[in-house]
Structure 1
Amino acid sequence: MPALSFSTQIMHLGKDVSDAAYGLVSRAIAPTQGGLLQGQNPAALNNADPIRLWIIQLFIIICFTQLLGLFLSRIRQPRVISEVIGGILLGPTAMGRINGFTNNIFPAQSVYYLNLTANIGLVLFLFVVGMEVDTRIIRRNGRASLAISAVGMVLPFGLGAAVSVPMYALYINESIVSFGNYLLFAGVAMSITAFPVLCRILTECKLLPTAVGTVTLAAGVGNDIVGWILLALTVALVNATTGVMAVYILLCTVGWALVLLFPIKWGLNWLARKTGSFESGPTPFMMTLVLLLVFASAFFTDVIGVHAIFGGFLAGIAMPHEGGFRTALVEKFEDLVTLLFIPIYFALSGLSTNLGLLNRGVDWGYIVLLCVIAFVGKFVGCAATAFFFGFKWREAGAIGTLMSCKGLVELIVLNVGLSAGILDTRIFSMFVVMALVLTFMTTPLTLMFYPPKYHVYLADGHLPGPTHRHSEAEAAHPTPRATTFNSVTGTTATRGEEQLKSRFAVVLSKMEHLPALMTLTQLLQPPPTGPATAFDNTRASSIDESEKDSTTKQNTGRMLSVPVLSTTPVRATTISPHTPPVRIDALRLIELTERASALFKASVTDELVRSDPLVNIFRTYGHLNRIPISASVSVVNYDSFPSSVNHHVQDHASELVIIPWGPQSMGSSVLEQATTGASGTTTYSGPLSSLFSSPTSTSAPDGPQSLLYSQFARRVFAEAPSDVALFIDRGLSPSETAGGYGQHIFFPFFGGPDDRAALALVVQLCAHPAISATVIRVTKSDEPTEVDLQTPAATHLSDNIRDNIASTLNAGMTLQSTHFPDTVYGQNTTQVQLASSAADDIAWETFARPSGETAPRSPFIEEALTRVNFSSLTSSQPLRVLVQRAHQEERESGSWKTLVVVVGRGRRLATESHHAELAQLLSEHGRETSINPDVRKTIGDVATAFAVSGSRASLLIMQSAEAR
């Protein structure tokens, strides 16, 4: 027995050892992954690893909503419409009716993972919404916005409470939801305004800088804050077991809000200054701290019985305003939130929306009643209040319509009510339809009440008094306010041949435009006051290299506006009493995108005027050059850039609008700067390259962008109510950065309104002692002249540059926009041509004749004409001759002066057509073909000739308002 027992024990021990060994081996073997190659279904839900199905759901949601957005954006609907409709279509209303779709793509268990992702995104989205709320807007716009906001909540709240009585009796289970909670929730759902969607509609309708947009934005901020407070009260009442507990929840919420808005906000300001986050954006430490604060706030509001989204909203309000800190935070959060999390949230809303349940006539009757009550309550309350405060009926109607917008915030409110048990699926679906209808109709109704021709724009964003607004007739037909300065009498007068411009409007849209504007600002700066030392042209041309080097060393580090003076005394210059006071009004254009940060910038343009780096740099440069510069900011869609320029010109009575075109914005591959290699071939590079580069060429990657800017310039040419100048800056070559100063202007005068305006501007620019000019009156002959025989043929381009030009011109139709709007000219009759030709003779005689042979001129003009050399040219090929003369002027100017070629655009009433000669000029440079029509239409034939010839000079292309 003992022996048997021993053997049994041995057997048991061996079995235990084998089991243990098998267990160790089993643990060492990796479990089966169930991949696609093993026949597993990738869409099958695995609770231990749900990432596969989550990614499939994500792709379906985002692609579906984006495709809908492409269509709905064309009818000017906000993105929230496509997201909500996409969610509804993916739910049981449409796609859910497909057999197996919901069970395989959106099974019930997977909704928990989507819900977690959506709620994380919702907290971050409400954090962004909180940062968009700026209470300073309310304080700045006073009683009107507060009154509109208050009445716009009280009236729809009362109507919503009234309609909740029959709906509660018909749809709500009394044992689950109390009447008081449902009444309060229905009132909030009717009275709330979707502030983020409202801001988007205001910007797309170009209403933010108007009186309507300003007061609506302020009223929307107040409405948003009160709406969230009421919603928090509703959720607190639902979650509280007793009335006393509800009071405790509200007190805790108020206490947490005070903690965030005062000590925590002060601490964030202090840390942001210490870490340099105001100057260079949030540091990683500040971003970590902000993220922890957002989710800590969401956690606190959730555990005390209020939804977590309120914590995110309060954290957003607590973020500092200074230094663009909020805008930088929004830029870091918005793409992830709006492109990923929010579509998931609305897909979940769609899964909870079943329009198939609304299968009774009474259901649709109540939907119509909800839409009417929600719109009428907002529209009547807000519009009547606005009309009481002095707004016209069109403005009041637009304010009432805008305040009725529901959109994103309404859907969040409804989802909170659904999750809190206040609404069931049927009532939730009815309210969703109401929100969609009101959001969809906001934009078209606003445009119907308040079309662009009635817009009243504000210069400072403040609400004007009744006496400061135009009447509707004045708004519909604005009167041009441009004035001109008569150099003979020293007073403002109507258009004439000797009028000088004093108010200039410049366009700032990119950093690379600053060099061009600084160069042109230097040209426009007034001459020194009192006795001054003028720049000696003779001395500059004859100074030897040793003197040049010593002068360069003495002036190292000085600004460009400080002239290099010769060592010999020259004639002193005094300013004329009739000198026009030069003023520049800069317009900073910022493209409005779909990002929330762009909307945030659009709502705080008054801060951008003070903080934008481009504006500050240009304003400082103007101060150093003694030119007063005012600035304004416009945040609009790219297509609205020309109209913003036109409004700016009208509001500031500008006489000339200047469009800069810097080297970086035009490319850097061919056709501007010329250098001769060892083989004798000439290569070109510079800003005009991308206009002539093929879209498939790797040497000009920004060609399409240059074409867009070209079309923008052409629209300004077509629509601006004043003279327009397109300044193409070639930049500075290395030899010119060695200390050269001054500009020499080369201007061929062909005739026509554009050339006459250019002639007057050239004379005005030459009033500065550092600027000289060569003005040539050109006459085209039928037969070759002696000048033609003496002018050498153009230098040929190298083979690779010639092939680049050829491929570009052959692909010109790919880039051009044949239907793009251009300047619409009046009828070009023989009588008009004769009058224009007579005006050309008068303009030329006014400036070119000696002072004793013409009418008395002002001292200002006489001083300027001493630096202008007038001559005449008769040629059968004037463009080729002028190009050679321009190269000669460049060589004679040397490094002491840069060359600026001024030309008239010559699109109407030009004395000669240059089409044939332009084609011949291209042939001389290596390829006989036609130029890109879009380029020719933008800058004109004469400027195109200088561009394709490889001239190193900057180009100033003038178009007169008289030409339209």
Structure 2
Amino acid sequence: MSSFSLSSRLSRREATGEGGLITGTNPAAFTTSDPLRLWIIQVGIIIVMAQLLSLVLRKLRQPKVIAEVLGGILLGPTAFGRIPGFTDSIFPPVSLPYLSLVANIGLCLFLFLVGLEIDANVVARNARMSAVVSLAGIALPFGLGSILSIPLYHHFIDPSVHFTYFMLFTGVAYSITAFPVLCRVLAELKLLDTNVGIIVLSAGVGNDIIGWTLLALSVALVNAGSGLTALWILLVCIAFTIFLLLPVKFVMRWLARKTGSIENGPTMFYMTVVMILVWACAFFTDSIGVNAIFGAFLAGLVVPREGGLAITLTEKLEDMVSIVFLPLYFTLSGLNTNLGLLDNGITWAFTIAIIAFSFAGKFGGCTIAARVSGYGWRESSTVGALMSCKGLVELIVLNVGLQAGILSPRVFSMFVLETLTLTFMTTPLVMALYPPERRLRVGEAARPAGGDERGQHDEKASIINEEQPWRHRFTVVLDKLDHIPSAMALTQLVLPPLSPPSDIMSTTTKTEGMDKRKIPEMSVEALQLIELSDRTSAMMKSSVADSLLHTDPVLGIFRMFGELNELAVTTSLSVVPHDDFAHSIAQHALRHASHLVLLPWLPPTAPAVADTPDTATSWERVAGGKGDKSPSDIHSQFVRGVFAQSKTDVALFIDTGDRMGARVGVFMHVFLPFFGGPDDRLALAFVVQLCLNPRMTATVVRMTKRDVVTDAGEGLERPSVVHLEDKAETGLRAQAPLTPRGDGPTVTSTIAMDTIYGRPTTETRMHSDTADNFAWSKYAHPLDTAHADNSAMRHALSRIHFSDAQSPAPLHTALRQARTLRETTSRLLIVAGRSRRLAKECHHGEMKRLLETYYRPGIPGVEGMRKTIGDVGTAMVLGGSAGAVVVLQAADIAVA
């Protein structure tokens, strides 16, 4: 007896799942005592399927929700479920309740995030327009859905289901607009800052709120069983909503301020309170007969928006929700979706009718409403196309109807196909109706077809007066906090001094002071770039960009810099995908008629500049150190994108590690090796403008190559035509007609993203040589030009030493002169043109020798750096001859 008792106790103490795979147990076998192993397998398969489909559909610019829904459908009875044993092994029916529990937990968290994403201020700012579009986008689809529900009910729905319930769910499914998916489509198509984007966001918020209210009413009516009970449920739900939006919201705001969550992000205690509130609201709404997701949605509306608190809360939750929980929910939808049930003509006829009626209701209602409100037909139709986006919100409605027994599996599958079709249609339809060249940003009036997108006012503002050729409108690009010192240094370089130094006060004449007053007032547009990712928090930042302008630390620092320097600084913030950073900068500079884009470039590390090739050179620091893909490599691709897409002059400031920005106000000397071409002519004008500052002096050397053999026998041959063509073929990114600024007639040449160009023709070289000679004469011999009467110009040129140098190795000669100046000058800034476009010579041979001299094998980024800043800039950085280098590229209006 005792032995039996002992063995019984030992058997009860056996660990669950002991042994496992090693003992031959099937890890996919489901047991109610240990469901975790199969759950992990299910989650892994679901996430991998969703991510693989997302990679494919991303190429078609489709939102991620389509990949998740398609993944669920493929894993269900439509595709993989037809494989013998797949469903029984991976998704056995007894395991689905566990999967459903986790999926519904995630759904509640997702609806909480949707509530956080909704900003009532967006609706308030566009209340009249959004109300008209939103109501029209609900009323007409609801009516069409109610009409279509009559034949659908008689053909496919069990008579035990009340027709009223089915009609309500059909109308709600037709009326809904997927606000979260809509935000992502607007961001992907770069419509967030357009008139259409603003009105669609506002109408989408209102549509979402009304849609969830209708869904709550429908669920309450179904669960109540009688109209009177449904009325009581509705009244309790309204009272609970008012209770949350008034006293509870006040308490949550007070608690956020008390705990410092608004200033410093949510504390652990505040996060705990928020999570308790979410589940308490979900429990209450589920208890009174309304779905739990409605309570979670209301909890999101209660969280205060001050200080970006809602954004920070979203950042803490969104990854787990979007990566794990939502794919689980959509897989459950896919397991309930069997497209094989659409197996006859009448079913397909009704499916097509569902799609057509749904699109006609949304598109027609919203288009007409927008047209009546004053939009043109193109903008109105785009609003209609965007509002017809369904996405995951309709899927949630459909799943609620399926779980309530209102929808049959066949009708559910028909509506899922309608959801996928309309969501997939949204992006290509909007691109066809509203191409980029026809888009109007907020505050812009309609422009005539073929007109300049900058507008007439900005076109005039961007013109540089030849009598006073000073660039005074700048766009400063701010990306990271680490770039602030370089951005300040470059900005301060181009500013006129607040007052001349005391030791040169006696030489400053009244005439010079008068000329200084004639120089146009400097204005700077500081553009902060924030990456727009797939995360909900990134979307929220884009919708509240106006408020982020006043709280962003990078912009705040630069704004204070402007105040200290009596500089007019206007701040802007752009939330765009990383791949669109360059395009956003180019368009921003165009809209604000900037004369020059100031772009900082800071290496990851900045030790002291080395003087010999045996130590870590400045090149190694700028290249980003060792590794296959350094941060600077990635940033250099972004910089090359700005060079390629900008239709404005660009100045790139490279801090090689000597902390140039820390003492930019002291006396400084500038060195420019002038080789010729549009970029060097821009660099020459830039140096002259720098020398308006009495603290700046400069040395400008016109470099000319002579094909001679030195005594040592080291000759440099002129590159062959074949070599030039090979290099052009490998580096070419785009071809466009070139119209150099101030070079006379239009000249056709090859323009590339990088600094490698096709071989110029004799005609293009003659035009460029003529422009080079004119620019050199204008500045090197001012008495022979119209600038002789300009005293500001005379004083600037008096601080510049011009000379000519001929050498068989001009890059080496320029590098030696830079080193000589570095030894005699405490602060040396090197200015160089980016490319040798339209110039006579190629530096390929010299660059090869320089790389052999200074470049240590194993350091990545050589070719990337050379493509980014050009041969001259690379040579200057390689030699470690300056604390900072400014590389300039002249604008070409034909560059796409």
8 Å CA contact 2:528, 2:573 repeated in 1: yes
8 Å CA contact 1:714, 1:822 repeated in 2: no
Shift of 1:746: 1.1
Structure 2 residue matching 1:343: 3-state secondary structure: helix
1:67 corresponds to: 52
Gaps of 5+ in 1: 1-14, 459-463, 486-491, 537-567, 694-698, 792-812
Distance 1:187 1:451 in 2: 32
1:417-472 deviations in whole A, cap 9, x for unaligned? 111221121111111111011011111111011111111123xxxxx4xx823244
Distance 1:482 1:206 in 2: 23
Is the counterpart of residue 728 in structure 1 residue 728 in structure 2?
Answer: no
1:154 corresponds to: 139
1:298 corresponds to: 282
1:657-694 deviations in whole A, cap 9, x for unaligned? 12211122xx669xx92156xxxx642344x436657x
Is the counterpart of residue 144 in structure 1 residue 74 in structure 2?
Answer: no
Structure 2 residue matching 1:437: 3-state secondary structure: helix
Q: Which amino acid aligns with 2:645?
A: E
8 Å CA contact 1:516, 1:731 repeated in 2: no
1:864 corresponds to: 796
Structure 2 residue matching 1:641: 3-state secondary structure: helix
Is the counterpart of residue 960 in structure 1 residue 890 in structure 2?
Answer: yes
1:210-269 deviations in whole A, cap 9, x for unaligned? 111111111111111100000000000001132221112112211221122122222222
Distance 1:819 1:475 in 2: 28
Distance 1:375 1:56 in 2: 38
1:106 corresponds to: 91
Structure 1 residue matching 2:837: 3-state secondary structure: coil
Structure 1 residue matching 2:474: 3-state secondary structure: strand
1:245 corresponds to: 229
Is the counterpart of residue 235 in structure 1 residue 214 in structure 2?
Answer: no
Structure 1 residue matching 2:517: 3-state secondary structure: coil
Is the counterpart of residue 883 in structure 1 residue 860 in structure 2?
Answer: no
Gaps of 5+ in 2: 715-725, 739-747, 750-759
Q: How does 1:644-793 map to 2 (within 5 A)?
A: 644-664=584-604, 673-675=609-611, 682-686=614-618, 688-689=619-620, 692=623, 699-701=625-627, 703-733=629-659, 741-783=666-708
8 Å CA contact 1:590, 1:633 repeated in 2: yes
1:46-89 deviations in whole A, cap 9, x for unaligned? 10111011111111111111111111111111111111111111
Is the counterpart of residue 913 in structure 1 residue 842 in structure 2?
Answer: yes
1:399-427 deviations in whole A, cap 9, x for unaligned? 11100000010101101111122112111
Q: Which amino acid aligns with 1:94?
A: A
Structure 2 residue matching 1:871: 3-state secondary structure: strand
Structure 2 residue matching 1:856: 3-state secondary structure: helix
1:190 corresponds to: 174
1:184-219 deviations in whole A, cap 9, x for unaligned? 111110011000110010000111111111111111
Q: Which amino acid aligns with 2:852?
A: S
Q: Which has the larger radius of gyration?
A: 1
- Pair 442,25 (structure 1): closer, same or farther in 2 beyond 3 Å: closer
8 Å CA contact 1:690, 1:702 repeated in 2: no
Structure 1 residue matching 2:669: 3-state secondary structure: strand
8 Å CA contact 1:90, 1:350 repeated in 2: yes
2:875 corresponds to: 945
- Pair 390,474 (structure 1): closer, same or farther in 2 beyond 3 Å: farther
2:723 corresponds to: none
8 Å CA contact 1:902, 1:957 repeated in 2: yes
Distance 2:695 2:240 in 1: 66
Is the counterpart of residue 902 in structure 1 residue 831 in structure 2?
Answer: yes
Distance 1:291 1:251 in 2: 26
Structure 1 residue matching 2:59: 3-state secondary structure: helix
Shift of 1:890: 2.0
8 Å CA contact 1:533, 1:571 repeated in 2: no
1:643 to 578, 583, 594: 583
More displaced, 584-593 or 76-85? 584-593
8 Å CA contact 1:535, 1:769 repeated in 2: no
Shift of 1:864: 2.2
1:533 to 501, 513, 531: 501
1:459-518 deviations in whole A, cap 9, x for unaligned? xxxxx4xx8232444377977945579xxxxxx656x49611110112122222211101
1:124 corresponds to: 109
Q: How does 1:75-474 map to 2 (within 5 A)?
A: 75-175=60-160, 177-458=161-442, 464=443, 468-474=445-451
2:774 corresponds to: 842
Distance 1:692 1:310 in 2: 53
Distance 1:258 1:931 in 2: 60
2:722 corresponds to: none
Shift of 1:618: 1.2
Q: Which amino acid aligns with 1:673?
A: V
Q: Which amino acid aligns with 1:729?
A: D
8 Å CA contact 2:78, 2:338 repeated in 1: yes
Structure 1 residue matching 2:67: 3-state secondary structure: helix
Is the counterpart of residue 599 in structure 1 residue 535 in structure 2?
Answer: no
Distance 1:931 1:298 in 2: 54
1:7 corresponds to: none
Shift of 1:737: 6.2
Shift of 1:744: 2.2
1:488 corresponds to: none
Distance 1:208 1:57 in 2: 37
Structure 2 residue matching 1:834: 3-state secondary structure: helix
1:867-926 deviations in whole A, cap 9, x for unaligned? 3222332222221121122122222222xxx32210112331224322222222233437
Structure 2 residue matching 1:747: 3-state secondary structure: strand
Q: Which amino acid aligns with 1:342?
A: L
- Pair 651,963 (structure 1): closer, same or farther in 2 beyond 3 Å: closer
Shift of 1:819: 5.8
Distance 1:360 1:838 in 2: 77
1:689-734 deviations in whole A, cap 9, x for unaligned? 36657xxxxx43474543333233223223322211122122445x
Shift of 1:280: 2.1
1:500 to 455, 460, 470: 470
Structure 2 residue matching 1:500: 3-state secondary structure: coil
2:720 corresponds to: none
Q: Which amino acid aligns with 1:200?
A: R
Structure 1 residue matching 2:653: 3-state secondary structure: strand
1:840-881 deviations in whole A, cap 9, x for unaligned? 233223222365986434232233233322233222222112
- Pair 342,25 (structure 1): closer, same or farther in 2 beyond 3 Å: closer
- Residue-pair matches, total: 857
8 Å CA contact 1:145, 1:218 repeated in 2: yes
Shift of 1:123: 0.2
Distance 2:263 2:735 in 1: 43
- Pair 907,394 (structure 1): closer, same or farther in 2 beyond 3 Å: farther
Q: Which amino acid aligns with 1:725?
A: A
Sequence identity (%): 47
8 Å CA contact 1:483, 1:655 repeated in 2: no
- Pair 249,741 (structure 1): closer, same or farther in 2 beyond 3 Å: same
Distance 2:414 2:441 in 1: 39
8 Å CA contact 1:480, 1:650 repeated in 2: no
- Pair 928,842 (structure 1): closer, same or farther in 2 beyond 3 Å: farther
- Pair 31,429 (structure 1): closer, same or farther in 2 beyond 3 Å: closer
- Pair 29,428 (structure 1): closer, same or farther in 2 beyond 3 Å: closer
Distance 1:743 1:448 in 2: 54
2:554 corresponds to: 614
